[in-house]
Structure formats: structure tokens, C-alpha cells
Structure 1
């Protein structure tokens, strides 16, 4: 059994695509997953599976959510090692940023250089980002709530799927994933 974390994009945000985590866990019982749990309402699912292809897992979870809740929800599946690598590669680590809290956007694929150039050419005032592999490290000068560097802009300009989490959540997901199956 391999441990995974599924990151759902855009659920339970501003009254949109409301999915109660208890009902989601119940629905996930249909899939051949073990040790299923969720963390906070923004759509973080921890589980174990014998399936080794994250894309197959993404499709299974996507289709299950559509069937049970009627929502087309993007799903990105990562491993605990993926999350640890994201933390280890944080280009802002030496800056000791605490407020506002840094974020990382998980990308469905490594973005094309020309798409990164398009996004980089935009003016986001004092908001900054760096892309390393399939992670986009975000530092919002004032906070995520007022930025023009939104997930919608990221997806449109990079031409891929993205879902962001703050550092507190990323670190908690690592902690929780390490406890699975013990």
C-alpha cells in the first residue's frame, strides 16, 4: 500500500461546490482505498492504495465526486515525498516569512516556458512567485484574499490545473500522512 494525498480544487470556497467531508469519506468507501481521512474543509484527502498511477487515482476520485455530488472538481494526487520535496525546495525558506503566510500552488504538470514568460510579464504589485518543477511558490505581500495572482489567473496563463495550499496545511498533511497505517 502506498500513501497518497488528494488535493481538491475549489470546494467549500465562498459557498461554492459544498461537500461535507463526512459525506466525502463515506462516498470514498466505494473505491479500493484504505485508511481514508480528510483534513479541513478545503478538500485534502489522505488514503492508501495499491494503485501506483496518480493519474488513475485522480480520475477515480474526480468521477466519484461528480457521481455523488454533481460537481466537476479538479483533483491532484501527490505523495508524502512530493510534499516533502516541495518544502525542501522552498525558494523563500531563508526569508523567514510568517505574515502573510506563504502558499504553494500544486500544478498538474511542469508549465511550458512560454507560459511562464506570459505570467511573469504581468504586474502583481509586490506579490511574487517562483516555479520549481510542478510547484509554484507564492508570496503574497498583503495576503491571498486580495491578490491579482489568483488560482484562476495561474491556470489560465500557465494552461494547466492548479490548487494552492498554505504552508501550515502542507506541513500538517506531511505529518498526517506519516501517521497513516502505523
Structure 2
């Protein structure tokens, strides 16, 4: 039995694409997943599964959400080992920063530096980013909502063909804790 986190992109924002967490938990239990728990209202659920891999579990949940709620939601599924490795590999001094200053964008597949070559990092200082394993770390000292660098990641040349979803550092740490073996 493996413990995973499902990261749903763009739900419960601005009153649209509402996915109540209680309904999501029930839906996931109906798919045969165990120990289903959610975190916040912004699209994180932790569960156990004894079948499938990250991609097939994400596809299964995406299809179930479409059928149940009537709209499509991009989903990324990652296991505890991956989530812990991402937290451990953070290139920024996470312990010294507020959770709103540090973010991780999880990608559906590996990305290389070429996708980001057109971004002049020096032009956005003190904001910075670094690439990780299917992830991007963003230091935004004034928060994500005010980040000019974060706006660059939404451009088609950067995210074409990818599912990408961002979580603040507090959520990154919480998901590692929630997916740890009990």
C-alpha cells in the first residue's frame, strides 16, 4: 500500500469549479482508495492505493471528477518519497522564510532549463527560481500574488504540454507530513 497526494489544479478559486472536499473524499473512496484525507479547500487530498502508478491514478481521478462534477480538473499525483525528496532538495533556506515566500510548482513531467531560457532572472530579483525533479522552486519575498516572476511561468512557451500546479511551502511541508507512514 502506497500513500499518495493528489494535487488538483484551479479548483475552488473565485467561486468557480467548486469541488467540496467532503465530496472529493467520498469520490476517491468510491474509486477504492483508502485513508482519504483532504487538506484545505484548495485541492489537496492524501490517500492510499495498492494499484496503479502516479499517472494512472491521476488519470482515473481526473475522469471521475469530470463525470461527477461535470468539468475537467487537471490532477497530479505524487507519492510520499517524491514529496519528501522535493522538500529535502529545496535550494532556498526554507527554515528562514515565511511559507508565503516560498513555493513549489509541481509539473506532470520532467522539464529542462530550455523552457525557461527566455526568462531574464536578473530582471526579477530579488525573486528567484530553481528547477528540481518535475518541480520548480520559487522564492517570492512579497508572496505569489505580487510576484512578477510567477507571471512568466504562465506563458505558453513555458507550460505548453504540461500540467502545472503551485503550492506554498506550508502546504508542501504539510503534504510530506500527511503522506508519511503512520
TM-score normalised by structure 1 residue count:
0.88
CA separation of 1:124 and 1:4: change in aligned 2, threshold 3 A: same
Q: Secondary structure at the residue paired with 1:149? A: helix
Question: Which piece of structure 1 moves more, 123-132 or 49-58?
Answer: 123-132
Report the 3-state secondary structure (helix = DSSP H, G, I; strand = E; otherwise coil) of the residue aligned with 1:11: coil
- Indicate the residue corresponding to 1:10 in structure 2: 10
Matches within 5 A, 1:21-36: 21-36=21-36
8 Å contact from structure 1 (residues 3, 80) kept in 2: yes
Counterpart for residue 104 of structure 1: 104
List gaps (5 residues or longer) in structure 2: none
Compared with structure 1, are the counterparts of its residues 120 and 111 closer, same or farther at alpha carbon in structure 2 (3 Å cutoff)? farther
Name the TM-score, length of structure 2 as normaliser: 0.88
- Structure 1 contact 154–162 (Cα < 8 Å) conserved: no
What is the distance in 2 between the residues matched to 1:61 and 1:18? 16
Q: State the alpha-carbon separation in 1 of the partners of residues 127 and 79 from structure 2.
A: 28
Is residue 74 of structure 1 aligned with residue 79 of structure 2?
A: no
Count of residue pairs the alignment pairs up: 180
Aligned pairs for 1:1-182 within 5 A: 1-93=1-93, 96-98=96-98, 100-120=100-120, 123-150=123-150, 153-154=153-154, 156=156, 157-159=158-160, 160-178=162-180, 182=182
Name the Cα RMSD after superposition: 2.2
